[in-house]
Structure 1
Amino acid sequence: MTEQSLLKLSIAVTVILALCGIGAGLYAASFAVVFDGIYSLTDAFMTMLALMVARLIANSALPNPGGKLAERFTMGFWHLEPMVLGLNGTLLIGAAIYALINAVDSLMDGGRMIAFDYAIIVTFFTFTVSLGMALFIQRKNRTLKSAFVALDAKSWLMSAMLSASLFIAFVVGYALLQSPYAWLASYTDPAVLALVCLVIIPMPFANVKQALADILLVTPAEFKQHVDKVARNVVEKFGFSSHYSYVARVGRGRQIELFFIVPKNAPARRLEEWDAIRDQVGEALGGEGHDRWLTIMFTTDEEWAI
């Protein structure tokens, strides 16, 4: 199964499950269940964007992509991936904060009574489907190794955790109705929603942080060290004066620019020899493929490299 087909399946299941959840939440008068559905719909929308970006990246890697988009984006579409990941995490955090505010407001107003029996059935069903999708997508991503698919699997796992928390809370609330503490049952829905939001809000921060680093072209330290190590070996092997390296990670893309400073009195080389040196450098760097953008230049003028 490809990245795109897996994301399509995830979108279809998410939309169906979200619409059912919203309808069931309205019927049961549970804002927590409605939030679960809205959260899933937001995730489905972002997964659709992720699918579009994944398709653009795959098409741009073709030998002759063609089309107006390829003419307008000659540097590729890698930069869209961190934008989508960052927007996804930001929207999920925003939705959880909004739900938390509503939950606190409901608690201050005395809570709300819901149809516990119906809510229990719905949340158990949602939990089962979400957990199954999370495990299925994680297993498929062991070979795909896609950041988009990994985020989608994490979203399914978060949905499963949310549904499990709601299920347990509704079981407790239903039990309270049969006890002397029945007055507490009306606080169950907003209380569990507030608790779930407090857990969910920090979870996308790591993805947002990484996406922001990619958008700002923050140089990955380990990657830079690897590039510099290879470059130093090349300088020593071919008698160059020095080198300058510029490295960035943009989504799944790896961008590398290497400038080698050649002594002005160095013996002349044929173009084929310079190309052979480039091949050696590229092989030593590793990671050759559609997601690597490698530029290697040789100059005697250091100003070209700064």
Structure 2
Amino acid sequence: MPTNPLGVHALVFAGGTTADEMTTIIEQTKAAGYDILELSLHDAVNLDTADARAKLEGAGLDIVCSRGLAFSADVSSEDPEVVARGAQLLHDSLRITHDMGGTHFTGALYSALGKYGRALSAAGRANVVAALADLAVEAQGLGMTLGLEICNRYETNVVNTAADALRLADDIGHDNVLIHLDTYHMNIEEDDFIRPVRLVGDRLGYVHIGENHRGFLGSGHLDFASFFHALAGIGYSGPITFESFSSAVVSPTLSNDLAIWRNLWNNGPALARHARSFMADQLEAGRRG
């Protein structure tokens, strides 16, 4: 049996975070055998955190929250008002994560989630470092860690590779800022699935497993065997979360941000069960290899 806690993204089951949707999401996550639910906070306005926490605790599930920012609330901007709105959004999201019982807040915390028309400026990067350093101090006081998810060039201009993320984490300068690898993004930006894992090493704090098209695991062309062997090679024992998106389940904001136009699956519960089995098998093979 895998020792890494295994998670699933809520958008496999429902697009929003109303009380009824959270009931469905939590019940299906538990039924599929997962340890962790990952919840995007793009729909946080509809989220009843106390109710969600009670349901999570009742199901015996841990929670990880994630998000990217918006172009109107972007800490990588050169506009002080836009940066301030982004910093407030990060603060609010950290508190929501904590209030639900979570200890890890991750994602594209450093920029809007979308295609930029130019490269990141030095001033914009300095704003990212300052905002995330402040957030890291706040998180540390709450006993929490932050994740820098490495996203592809079409979703951010701040962090596209493991080397980028490590440089940013070094400049932020706090030990509770960890690196978040995602196989979907790595397939676009990295040379292979082994060297980035080794480069990050013991600073790896979270992993997303997703196919090259974000559909059923094993139905695309990604070399998951080498990735899981690399994880075993560095002794990674942290969370591994399945992330998949289809136009069959729509989030009013996140689906558009991620360009989820294709219907890659219709049955989220079946997809989730398959993914858990796939990841458990890959973990076992990686350890035996």
Q: Which has the larger radius of gyration?
A: 1
Bin of the TM-score, shorter chain as denominator length: under 0.3
Tell me the TM-score normalized by structure 1.
Answer: 0.21
Give the structure with the higher percent helix: 1
Q: Which has the higher strand share?
A: 2
Q: Could you tell me the TM-score, scaled by structure 2's length?
A: 0.22
